[in-house]
A = this chain, B = another copy of it.
Amino acid sequence: MPYIGPSFLLSQLGAFAADGFAARLTALDLAPQHAGLLRMIVATGDHPLTQNALGQRFGVPASRLVPLLDHLESGGLVERRTNPADRRSNLLFATPAGVAMLGRIESLTHALEAELLASLTASDRAALEGLLRTLAGSLGLVPGVHPAYRALEDAP
Chain A interface (Cβ < 8 Å from any Cβ of B): 1-21, 39, 42-43, 102, 106, 109-110, 112-113, 116-120, 124-125, 127-129, 131-139, 141, 143-148
Contacts and interface: CB of A to CB of B under 8 A. Distances in A.
Contacts of A148: 15
Contact of A128 (B17, B118, B131, B145): B131
**Main SS at interface, chain A:** helix
Contacts of A113: 5-7
Contacts of A9: 129, 132-133, 135-136
Given A10-B13, A17-B7, A139-B116, A2 B144 contact: yes
**Number of chain copies forming the complex:** 2
A125 B128 CA distance: 11
B131 A12 contact: no
B3 A109 contact: yes
A12 B11 contact: no
A20 B146 CA distance: 14
Contacts of A13: 10, 14, 132, 135-136, 139, 141
